[in-house]
């Protein structure tokens, strides 16, 4: 059994997103149905809609930064009740039996996690549809609780931009006094600054634009280094324990590697693909420095991040849009013309 709901999606990589009808399954014993109130707009949404990474299944309905109100629960659901506010991030299923899943690392499921969109829909066949829609039905194991004190719209981007930067901060043990740098001030970068500062780190922004300094410091950065200024870069050689690189396109990592301290790590969270610039291994070998990657976070870690944000009153900086303006928002996103995350008010679809 299934229900038809309104959604916004695209039928081909070169087509605009438009209103369409999709199917959602009926609630089963372990399911939660959520009436979607807000959905953040992620670069991954755009890349998937336009098949930039290949493998997009059409019609494509993006959206994996979902916050809404619970309208139905299955008879075996215990963690949440009708009327509660709930959230869904980038994952809606995994095998839940492999070594990764047993370590609460569902994002690295050895049998392949199921993405909130463009994943395998084992219930209805075909592929999954995301949060640019009226409702979503998700297994309770992949539904998250939203702290009551957080603004719901501004909390939506925490489900991707937040957890994508939180996970490396936790994995590399950032704590009071750690020295953290962030490359790029966008949807991911501004969350990395806020979360690192919340953990007590000394935070520096790397930017190519001097006009980002004032905003970065308002967000919590202690310093801003202009990465094209050689003297500034030389002044921080060997400083950082961790660099979170949020840049979503190919770029030269070598200038940043030199600013890591012994045992320091540069972790890529924004770019998927080949790096054309050859990495110079000399500073890595001589200083036991690492270049690593990180993908979102597991469900337990995402809930931990949401609870931390509730305790420290951390949310994203957002610009609200109507669903009908999503195509314009995509074009603006390509120009970095947003401070710092679009969030769709889903009332506009209903």
- How does pLDDT run across 150-195, given as a tens digit for each residue? 999 999 999 999 999 999 999 999 999 999 999 999 999 999 999 9
Q: Rounded mean pLDDT of the chain?
A: 96
- Residue whose entry in the numeric block shows the structure tokens 């924004």: 270
The runs of H, that is alpha helices, within 67-160 are 99-102, 152-155
- 31 vs 237: CA distance, rounded Å: 51
24-42 pLDDT tens trace: 999 999 999 999 999 999 9
CATH fold for domain 162-293? Rossmann fold (3.40.50)
pLDDT surpasses 70 at 102: yes
Nearest-angstrom CA–CA distance, 86 and 156:
10
Q: Are 195 and 167 contacting, i.e. CB atoms less than 8 angstroms apart?
A: no
Asked if 193 contacts 215 with a C-beta cutoff of 8 angstroms, the reply is no
Please give the pLDDT value at position 185. 94
Do the beta carbons of residue 66 and residue 135 sit within 8 Å? no
Name the CATH code of domain 2-159+316-349 (choices 3.40.190.10, 6.10.140.120, 3.40.50.620, 3.90.180.10): 3.90.180.10
Backbone φ and ψ for 81, nearest 5 degrees, come out as -130, 165
Which helix (H) or strand (E) is 7 found in, with range? strand 2-9
Q: What is the pLDDT of residues 278-328, one digit of tens each?
A: 999 999 999 999 999 999 999 999 999 999 999 999 999 999 999 999 999
Residue 4 has a CB neighbour count (10 Å cut-off) of 10
Q: Which residues of 130-140 are buried (b: 16+ CB within 10 A; e: fewer)?
A: bbbbbbbbbbb
Residue 332 has pLDDT above 80, yes or no: yes
Nearest to 217 by CA among 170, 182, 256: 182
Question: How confident is the model over 123-145, as a mean pLDDT?
Answer: 97
Pairing of β 290-293 and β 260-268 = parallel
Question: What residue ranges do the domains of the chain occupy?
Answer: 2-159+316-349, 162-293
> From residue 317, how far is each of 50, 53, 235, 337 by CA, in Å?
26, 27, 31, 13
- Per-residue pLDDT tens over the stretch 178-237: 999 999 999 999 999 999 999 999 999 999 888 888 999 999 999 999 999 999 999 999
Across the range 263-273, mean pLDDT stands at 95
Q: What is the mean pLDDT of residues 241-261?
A: 96
Rg (the chain; Cα; Å): 20
Q: What is the pTM of this model?
A: 0.95
Q: How far is the C-alpha of 210 from the C-alpha of 203, rounded, in Å?
A: 17
Q: Per the structure block, which two tokens stand in for 151?
A: 């603004």
Given this model, what pLDDT does residue 2 score? 77
Confidence band of 1 (pLDDT split at 50, 70, 90): low
Residue 9 pLDDT greater than 90, yes or no: yes
What CA–CA distance (Å, rounded) separates 132 from 323? Answer: 8
E strand or H helix at 68:
strand 66-73
Q: H/E/C letters for each residue in 279-307?
A: CCCHHHHHHCCEEEECCCCCHHHHHHHHH
| DSSP assignment string, 159-213 | GTHHHHHHHHHHHTT--TT-EEEEE--SHHHHHHHHHHHHTT-EEEEEES-GGGH
- Residue-level length of the chain: 350
Instruction: For residues 88-116, give the mean pLDDT.
Output: 97
What pLDDT, on the 0 to 100 scale, is given for residue 211?
86
H or E, element range at 263: strand 260-268
Count of beta carbons in the 10 Å neighbourhood of residue 71: 14
């Amino acid at each position: 059994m299934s229900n038809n709901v309104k959604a916004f999606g695209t039928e081909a990589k070169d087509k605009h997103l438009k209103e369409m009808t999709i199917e959602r399954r009926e609630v089963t014993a372990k399911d939660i149905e959520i009436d979607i109130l807000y959905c953040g707009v992620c670069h991954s949404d755009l890349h998937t809609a336009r098949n930039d990474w290949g493998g997009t299944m059409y019609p494509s309905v993006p959206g994996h930064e979902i916050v809404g109100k619970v309208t139905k629960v299955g008879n075996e659901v215990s963690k949440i009740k009708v009327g509660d506010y709930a959230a869904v991030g980038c994952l809606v299923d995994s095998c839940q039996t492999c070594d990764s899943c047993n370590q609460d690392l569902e994002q690295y499921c050895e049998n392949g996690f199921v993405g909130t969109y463009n994943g395998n829909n084992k219930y209805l066949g075909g592929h999954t549809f995301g949060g640019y829609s009226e409702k979503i039905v998700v297994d309770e194991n992949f539904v998250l609780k939203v702290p009551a004190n957080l603004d719901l719209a501004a909390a939506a981007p925490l489900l991707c931009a937040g957890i994508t930067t939180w996970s490396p901060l936790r994995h590399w043990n950032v704590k009071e006094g750690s020295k953290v740098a962030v490359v790029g001030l966008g949807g991911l970068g501004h969350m990395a600054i806020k979360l690192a500062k919340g953990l007590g780190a000394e935070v520096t922004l790397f930017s190519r634009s001097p006009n980002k300094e004032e905003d970065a410091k308002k967000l919590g950065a202690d310093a801003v280094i202009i990465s094209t200024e050689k003297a500034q870069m030389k002044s921080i050689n060997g400083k950082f324990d961790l660099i979170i690189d949020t840049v979503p396109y190919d770029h030269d990592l070598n200038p940043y590697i030199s600013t890591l301290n012994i045992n320091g790590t540069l972790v890529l969270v924004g770019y998927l693909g080949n790096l054309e610039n050859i990495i110079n291994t000399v500073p890595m070998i001589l200083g036991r420095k690492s270049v690593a990657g990180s993908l979102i976070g597991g469900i337990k870690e995402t809930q931990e991040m949401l609870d931390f944000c509730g305790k420290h009153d951390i949310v994203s900086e957002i610009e609200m849009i109507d669903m009908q303006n999503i195509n314009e928002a995509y074009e603006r996103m390509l120009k970095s013309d947003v401070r710092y995350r679009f969030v769709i008010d889903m009332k506009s679809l209903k």
